[in-house]
Structure 1
Amino acid sequence: MEEMPKTYDPQETEPKILAKWLGGGYYRRSPERRPGAGDCTIVIPPPNVTGKLHMGHALDDSIQDAIVRCARMRGKSTRWIFGTDHAGIATQTKVDKKLKAEGVSRLELGREKFIDACWDWTHEYGGIIQQQIRRMGCSIDFEDERFTMDPEYAHAVRRVFCDWYHDGLIYRGKRIVNWCPSCTTAISDDEAEYKDEHGHLWYLRYPLTEPVDGQEYIVVATTRPETMLGDTGVAVSPKDPEKAAFVGKTVKLPIVDREIPIFSDYHVDAGFGTGFVKVTPAHDPNDYAMGQAHDLPQINIFDEHAVVVDGYGAFSGMTRDECREAVVAWFEEHGLLDHIEEHDHSVMHCYRCDTTLEPWLSEQWFVAVDKLKGPAIEAVTSGKVRFNADRWKQSYLTWMENLKDWCISRQLWWGHRIPVFYCEDCGWEDALMEDTDVCPKCGGHHVHQDENVLDTWFSSQLWTFATQGWPEHPERLEGHHPTTALVTARDIIALWVARMIMSSLYFLDEVPFHDVVIYPTVLAKDGSRMSKSKGNGVDPMDLMDMYGADAMRFNLLSLFTANQDVRFDADFDKDKRFIGSARTEQAKAFITKIWNASRFLLMNMEGYTPGAPCAETPADAWMLSRLAKTVTAVTEGIEHYAFGDVARTVQSFFWNEVCDWYIEVTKTRLNGLGEDGAAERLQAQRNLIFVLDTSLRLMHPLMPFATEAIWDAMPVSWLDIDPETGEGEKAAALMVAEWPEPERFAAYIDDAGEHAFELARAVVTDVRSTRARYRISPKEQLDVTIRATSQEVADAIDGMGAFICMFARVGQLGITTDEIAEKPAGSIVLTGPDFDAYVFVGDLVDFAAERARIEKTIAKAEKELAGVRKTLANEGFIAKAAPDVVAKKRERAEELEAQLEALAAQLADFA
């Protein structure tokens, strides 16, 4: 056996282990190693090709790797597909900025050369996130990397477009879209980000063409006075009887002198403003719907940069903001500005450049979703696709039920160009799988392709099957589609998850995945969103450099919850530089504990030979039973994606039960100090190696590097041996070793033996805590009387008497089930659900002095708690103090309350 280094250094060890995995080819698509084990295929949500790893990625990838590593060890045919998305808007924006810095514009360069520049950009920056994910230890088949702009993938995208086009599911139409004047492209509703902004409500007077009941004008209220240039109507609510007399009348639109009608429509909220609503069909979705219903003209007053078009006099050429000021000034100058009110409202922004979006009437390509959404809804309601947690199922269904036709065209150059061709000579139009410059109808050569590209989400909706050979090689999908699980963020349930389900059902007649695992958003320490601008963002690479990949992964997985977002406890210096994370430090400490315990055991394996574990002692029976139950809990936890529970289970088991108890109580036999020294030592070695080996296999999916490094130094254990032949050998790597299946461990479960040991452990803990509390030397033997709540408990503790006396340094151990009238003199009583323990300390403790010390400590704690509570009751403090300061005050109050409760219990010892 290779001797382990004294300390675990992740910066030295992790690169060596990574090289071992890659060199061994263990990441590649694996065949089924156990008959009937099945398959496990996962596609990574494709990060942007030029993106970098962030905390969401780190958590997402840690979850996926845990699933895949466990499946690989269970003998499943595994495949984890990595790939990146071309990220149309993001990449084009970055390349645009680069060119501008060089004094070149995209338009000057031309489409073909600009696309070449985008390819150059992806080649220069495209490998960063792949290397970062590799550094995390994610066991992805990197040799099978995919990219949404690769020729094979582009062919699949084109096939989907052409099929849907010819099936009548894709059409071109003029609709209101969310338009980004900076990126100069349409943005889908789901990609728009809403921000609350402080604004105004302007009340403008529109003169009536004829007075109504002596009234010369009406007053409309609007947050966007600049769009009045495109008004083609005024609407009132049919539920507003006071406005009924105005319906059918007209007003003269100021500035443009356009006569427009007043009508009633249920889109109008009678309580908003004055009840008169200006209608601009080309610049508002609701107005567009009213315009369609009432046959109003659609007048687009802005160009693609949100600049007023020609035909509006002095207003032409103005930006939106300039036009707003000028229109308001004109109304005021002409006595038509009624008044202005403060008004906060939510405004849509571009998710990429943060520009305020413009609702804009333009010709776009759409997917008609009515035929697609029904099967996609049924897939979830029937359970073919399951959401974890279940509450996200309703989010999905609500979105699907209200789904509108999907705008798939983007006014970009980088991306999948829409494969529709037009003949300028005869008007022919068609979607083609191959480019053409000759019209098949008239033979003319004036043929051009549509200038738009497809929405990035259109191409990524094919991710589960286009990455696996479809449509040219559908046989490659066999056994690997539907994929096992999709691990993703909640904010793309609509953008991506739903669309993948729709497209997969349409083209493959099957769902793309069985489970959707929604991971929580990783927030900053104070509960806000992480961001570089706020200075509260954490770079996963910094965490790995500081603590190692295992510690980062284990901490993130321990935070995992299916029901709420999580806060990451990062600390920063005054310059907002990351300086540490206490929880990640704790995760590193756990890994150090595993390393040190393993090293200790392996240093004591002289003379070891493989053999079956055996419950020779009560401690053995307890340990093997606890091990069997932990195997079941961890296996089921991973199967049900309960990674926070899994992380906490393995840490509690290995640290609190294996290290703190089993290794300690087995040291005597391990040292060969028993009556039959050699035989007891060998069995103790076999049991310890069995427990350690099983524990490493359970922990491997969560912290692969350290467990693999320890595995390299491990001897063959009983898990590697065929019980029938007695032969076997250690696997080449832990990541391809067999998983400890619960069925193999079922025979070790011993509830009675486990309960007896737990009772004994509780007695030992009580005695040890008494020694610690009152600073009694470990050399002093203490007498103990146990009053058991039942004869069963009494018999179990009696059977563990020798163990209790040895490990708690007990002189005489008395056990009774009779009531004890009053606490014996000189004793400390510790109460519990199964027994009361009377620990006799006699003259070893000065009761009067201890009582005085405790009373003094209680008084001090009560005084501090009163001050903290007074501060927390101060509404001014709560309103003005930083959230983390308030949180610390509340934590301190909880600490003091717990301390006082414990002190009160101690004081009762001296009653």
Structure 2
Amino acid sequence: MDKTFEPHKIEQACYKHWEEQGLFKASGEGDPYCILLPPPNVTGSLHMGHAFQHTIMDALIRYNRMKGNNTLWQVGTDHAGIATQMVVERRLNAQGQNRHDLGREKFVEKIWEWKEESGGTITQQMRRLGTSPDWDREVFTMDDNLSEAVQEVFVKLYEEGLIYRGKRLVNWDPVLLTAVSDLEVVSEEENGHMWHMRYPLTDGSGELIVATTRPETMLGDTAVAVHPDDERYQSYIGKTITLPITGREIPIIADDYVEQDFGTGCVKITPAHDFNDYDMGKRHNLEMINILTDEAKINDVAPAQYQGLDRFEARKKIVEDLTEQGVLVKTEAHKLKVPRGDRTGVVIEPYLTNQWYVAVESLAKPAIEAVESGEIRFVPENWNKTYYQWMHNIQDWCISRQLWWGHRIPAWFDEAQNVYVGRDEAEVRAKHKLGDDVVLRQDEDVLDTWFSSALWPFATMGWPKETPELETFVPSSVLVTGFDIIFFWVARMIMMTKKFTGKIPFKDIYITGLIRDEKGDKMSKSKGNVLDPIDLIDGIELDALLEKRTTGMMQPKMAEKIGKQTKQQFPDGINAYGTDALRFTFAAMASTSRDINFDMGRVEGYRNFCNKIWNATRFVLMNTEEFDTGRDGGEMQLSVFDRWIWSQFQQTLQTFETAIAQYRFDIAAQHLYEFSWNQFCDWYLELSKPVLNSDASTDAEKRGTRHTLINVLEQLMRLLHPFMPFITDEIWKKIKPLSANQTEVASIMSDAFPIFNADKVDQQALDDIEWVKSFIVGIRNIRGEMDIAPSKPLPVMLKNVSEQDQNRLDVSGQYLAKLAKLESMTLLGSDEKAPASATALVGEMEILIPMAGLIDKEAELARLNKAAEKLQKDVARTSGKLSNENFVSKAPAAVIEKERDKLADMQMQLDKISEQKATIEAL
């Protein structure tokens, strides 16, 4: 083996071997275990959220594959209607063209060309992460068989009256010229204004003052609303006002939705341009007046002077006109939530258009019952409340988009605008007996991407055909996803799968937290805190990192700020940590928290963990490769140390499996780390040396220890493999032949997961070695406290030695002498007085080390006083900072907490020094 672990030398070759050998395929044997990959956008690249969730999924897949289950990880990508169309349109724009120059058919051809050239970025990056889905089953939501499923579902739902076309209010992006989902709308607080206007009563008896943040929408007002119990306006209800500028007469209505104590208690109602107003308009049968074009310009319904103006230009002119007419009462600064398109950044308009909808109420009921009955389980369980809240208040689902890329709606219109739905035009004509003289035009719209994604659990398994996969892998075992798409995807998959297969889509829904930076801030390009998983795997130089983070920044000052932050955080760029260290970091962070702060220090720590395992393997190989490890049946005698490490391994294995069953990957990782680093790599390797190197050890004892070394390490690699696939495979190939008569070793993936064996748990050995460890740690602590060199042999006196202590000394005494570097061990009677000594306790047994001749009392006290003096200065400095109100009020909470932790640690160190001084002064 190489002296150092270098991930880049093994990872890609290892993955290529796995894929070529077909090791990711379902075996066809054992209990079915299936995970559906939430299909990433075909335009996307691997980000930290993907890497986190993919690590969790892959760990479950590898674990179950090794457990002998019939394991399938179904992989695929989503056609991402809006995102993909935008990517290709930008490419055309760069060539001086647009999609209209090409026409729909040629434009779609261009998208397919782009998909073949550039649409596989994320799947290649998934390979770098070591994920092991069945790539031969990779699907794309626009594949012919998935398109057939989409078409079939649409037609059947339409025939049952569950899909309909209607004019309703939607989120409208005036740049993309399409309806968008709530998930594609980002609402953030911005500075704006509130304009207060007079609306005069038609009979001249008075006026109402209304306020709005969007004055241009008054052109579409169809009522003013007050609360029915508001005494100020009781006499106004039923009257009308004359709308300024337009001169239209509109009613004053009463509605419980109006808040009496907000503003003036009077609200202008524009049903065609506000979602709340739309609901009120339906309740009161108000006219719906749309005043905008698709491009968000004022249309010809409005007075002539505003027609053709952009909505914000119109706002400015209307405010000027209202001021001139004396209608504007006042303008005040106002903070408000502004909805913007997440891709265009443009303000989204509530817009009244004809769209296709799914009537979801009847679909929602069985989906709610599936969770209520426990048939589907949310993990953590609290997320079912979020699910219920949305499902019990569910609205019909707008499924049409005004795009060219996507599943085109299978509906045709005749010249009289009658609509016909079918799988193709020929079916429509045959079904409705339409002759060739009837001209049909297919609907221009495509289906919302979430519509095809909702069919993912069964469409990927071959539905509407009856396939073995449909029978075997529906329901799948667990869905791993984020809380932000419980509404948009999870709920819809449950509804659609129940409707079309009668089954649930998955048994468990494991909701992961959101990966944030180490300060708890959301990762975003504008904040300059985005981390690329591939950069963490391969490393990246500072210049390249700066270019990546600042390229495309619209504001030079922002780019400068992000550049400065990056240089401070990564002055030498980002080191290469390798895939295994990154994956183990994700596993260790996978708690039940909603937000997970990503700490670069942990990746560094787990890179060191990989090195530790690598170096431990080199030690094991040096002591087993040319020796008899018992695989040929020679006599073996296991020492108490051997029995102890086997017991520790069995307990770790049992804890790991319990944690995985509960989706507590953090607990599983914690126990793997503790066993691997502390118990095996530190303690057991150290404990094995006296057995292997002593002339007093028999061949059977040495063979037993070598057998334990190689076999515990081999099984440990299998235990670690789901989290750390590359390093474990590389090590396993080298050690497997030494643990069994096996010369050809394909991959650790082909081996079985370790099986818990209660017979290998030796409680006596566990207790005995904990005693040995306490003994050694006690000696080492005294050395550290008294500044005694590790190489200096120490005389030890033991007092209060019980019969059990004596038995343990008889068994382990010779090893203790070597491991703790002892000159001698003397047992003192209960009445014997020891000279001035440093002491440690192992249970009730006292360990005493006489200090005479071992330390220079005055020099040691001087050293401790100097250390205490430095700490006291640091304590004073930190205390002063924390008592400074200016610092505490301005510093981030995380910084303040760090300072408090530092202060507590320094106080603890001072207390320790005081104890050491007291001990030395007593000598």
Q: Give the TM-score normalised by the residue count of structure 1.
A: 0.92
1:143 pairs with 136, 147, 172, which one?
136
2:627 pairs with 593, 607, 610, which one?
607
Match in the other structure for 1:432: 423
Tell me the amino acid that sits aligned with residue 732 of structure 1.
A
Match in the other structure for 2:2: 5
Tell me the amino acid that sits aligned with residue 712 of structure 1.
K
The 2-side partners of 1:263 and 1:853 are apart by 85
**Does 2:919 correspond to 1:899?**
no
Match in the other structure for 1:299: 289
**Does 2:597 correspond to 1:555?**
no
Distance 1:819-1:453 versus aligned 2 partners, 3 A rule? farther
| 1:101-128 alpha-carbon deviations (Å, 9 max, x no partner) | 2222222322111211211221221111
The 2-side partners of 1:709 and 1:101 are apart by 47
Match in the other structure for 2:688: 666
Distance 1:907-1:381 versus aligned 2 partners, 3 A rule? farther
Higher deviation after alignment, 628-637 or 841-850: 841-850
Unaligned runs of 5+ in 1: 570-580, 721-726
Task: Specify the SS of the correspondent of 2:525.
Answer: coil
Task: Specify the SS of the correspondent of 2:90.
Answer: helix
The 1-side partners of 2:639 and 2:882 are apart by 54
| 1:691-734 alpha-carbon deviations (Å, 9 max, x no partner) | 1011100111111111111112114466x6xxxxxx87775210
**Does 2:478 correspond to 1:485?**
yes
| 1:724-761 alpha-carbon deviations (Å, 9 max, x no partner) | xxx8777521011011021xx21111223202211220
| 1:198-255 alpha-carbon deviations (Å, 9 max, x no partner) | 111111111111244xxx3110011111100000000001231111121111111000
Q: Are the equivalent residues in 2 in contact too, given 1:206–1:253 (CA < 8 A)? A: yes
Match in the other structure for 1:724: none
Match in the other structure for 1:575: none
- CA shift, 1:486, in A, is 1.0
Match in the other structure for 2:16: 19
Higher deviation after alignment, 312-321 or 492-501: 312-321
Tell me the amino acid that sits aligned with residue 689 of structure 1.
I
| 1:412-457 alpha-carbon deviations (Å, 9 max, x no partner) | 1110111112222583523435666847334243111111111101
1:565 pairs with 585, 595, 598, which one?
595
Match in the other structure for 1:641: 663
1:120 pairs with 113, 119, 123, which one?
113
Distance 1:292-1:14 versus aligned 2 partners, 3 A rule? same
**Does 2:311 correspond to 1:320?**
yes
RMSD of aligned C-alpha atoms? 2.5
The 2-side partners of 1:426 and 1:535 are apart by 52
Q: Are the equivalent residues in 2 in contact too, given 1:40–1:78 (CA < 8 A)? A: yes
Match in the other structure for 2:168: 175
- CA shift, 1:815, in A, is 6.8
- CA shift, 1:686, in A, is 0.8
Unaligned runs of 5+ in 2: 539-575
Distance 1:135-1:776 versus aligned 2 partners, 3 A rule? same
- CA shift, 1:351, in A, is 2.5
Q: Are the equivalent residues in 2 in contact too, given 1:158–1:433 (CA < 8 A)? A: no
Match in the other structure for 2:755: 741
Tell me the amino acid that sits aligned with residue 683 of structure 2.
W
The 2-side partners of 1:615 and 1:562 are apart by 44
The 2-side partners of 1:881 and 1:773 are apart by 37
Tell me the amino acid that sits aligned with residue 714 of structure 2.
D
Where do residues 231-630 of structure 1 align in structure 2 (5 Å cutoff)?
231-310=221-300, 311-424=302-415, 427=418, 429-432=420-423, 438=429, 440-443=432-435, 444-545=437-538, 546-569=576-599, 581-605=600-624, 606-608=626-628, 609-610=630-631, 616-630=638-652
The 1-side partners of 2:602 and 2:96 are apart by 48
- CA shift, 1:874, in A, is 2.7
The 2-side partners of 1:293 and 1:554 are apart by 56
2:849 pairs with 814, 839, 854, which one?
839
- CA shift, 1:663, in A, is 1.2
**Does 2:230 correspond to 1:220?**
no
Distance 1:292-1:236 versus aligned 2 partners, 3 A rule? same
Match in the other structure for 1:46: 39
Q: Are the equivalent residues in 2 in contact too, given 1:674–1:680 (CA < 8 A)? A: no
Match in the other structure for 2:879: 869
- CA shift, 1:607, in A, is 2.9
Aligned length: 878
| 1:178-217 alpha-carbon deviations (Å, 9 max, x no partner) | 11111111122344222111111111111111244xxx31
- CA shift, 1:554, in A, is 1.4
Match in the other structure for 2:558: none
Higher deviation after alignment, 153-162 or 805-814: 805-814
Q: Are the equivalent residues in 2 in contact too, given 1:668–1:674 (CA < 8 A)? A: no
Tell me the amino acid that sits aligned with residue 679 of structure 1.
A
The 1-side partners of 2:358 and 2:715 are apart by 52
Distance 1:604-1:756 versus aligned 2 partners, 3 A rule? closer
Q: Give the TM-score normalised by the residue count of structure 2.
A: 0.91
Distance 1:187-1:287 versus aligned 2 partners, 3 A rule? same
- CA shift, 1:475, in A, is 2.7
Task: Specify the SS of the correspondent of 1:547.
Answer: coil
Match in the other structure for 2:26: 29
Distance 1:305-1:679 versus aligned 2 partners, 3 A rule? same
| 1:568-587 alpha-carbon deviations (Å, 9 max, x no partner) | 23xxxxxxxxxxx4322221
Task: Specify the SS of the correspondent of 2:849.
Answer: strand
The 2-side partners of 1:398 and 1:406 are apart by 16
Match in the other structure for 1:75: 68
| 1:676-699 alpha-carbon deviations (Å, 9 max, x no partner) | 543332221111111101110011
The 2-side partners of 1:413 and 1:615 are apart by 74
Task: Specify the SS of the correspondent of 1:604.
Answer: helix
Tell me the amino acid that sits aligned with residue 614 of structure 2.
W
Q: Are the equivalent residues in 2 in contact too, given 1:438–1:447 (CA < 8 A)? A: no
Tell me the amino acid that sits aligned with residue 902 of structure 1.
K
Distance 1:789-1:509 versus aligned 2 partners, 3 A rule? farther
Q: Are the equivalent residues in 1 in contact too, given 2:198–2:208 (CA < 8 A)? A: yes
Task: Specify the SS of the correspondent of 1:209.
Answer: coil
- CA shift, 1:551, in A, is 1.6
- CA shift, 1:781, in A, is 3.4
- CA shift, 1:814, in A, is 6.1
Q: Are the equivalent residues in 1 in contact too, given 2:399–2:447 (CA < 8 A)? A: yes
Tell me the amino acid that sits aligned with residue 347 of structure 2.
T
Match in the other structure for 2:721: 700
Distance 1:477-1:283 versus aligned 2 partners, 3 A rule? same
Match in the other structure for 1:860: 870
Distance 1:432-1:327 versus aligned 2 partners, 3 A rule? same
The 2-side partners of 1:352 and 1:834 are apart by 69
Distance 1:907-1:355 versus aligned 2 partners, 3 A rule? farther
Higher deviation after alignment, 381-390 or 655-664: 381-390
- CA shift, 1:64, in A, is 1.0
Distance 1:375-1:794 versus aligned 2 partners, 3 A rule? farther
Match in the other structure for 1:576: none
Distance 1:442-1:806 versus aligned 2 partners, 3 A rule? closer
Distance 1:342-1:825 versus aligned 2 partners, 3 A rule? farther
The 2-side partners of 1:819 and 1:226 are apart by 99
Tell me the amino acid that sits aligned with residue 699 of structure 1.
L
- CA shift, 1:856, in A, is 3.8
The 2-side partners of 1:817 and 1:466 are apart by 80
Higher deviation after alignment, 610-619 or 676-685: 610-619
Where do residues 763-778 of structure 1 align in structure 2 (5 Å cutoff)?
763-778=775-790
Distance 1:291-1:815 versus aligned 2 partners, 3 A rule? farther
- CA shift, 1:465, in A, is 1.4
Q: Are the equivalent residues in 2 in contact too, given 1:826–1:843 (CA < 8 A)? A: no
Task: Specify the SS of the correspondent of 1:210.
Answer: coil
Q: Are the equivalent residues in 1 in contact too, given 2:636–2:700 (CA < 8 A)? A: no
Match in the other structure for 2:794: 782
Match in the other structure for 1:93: 86
Distance 1:691-1:355 versus aligned 2 partners, 3 A rule? same
Task: Specify the SS of the correspondent of 2:16.
Answer: helix
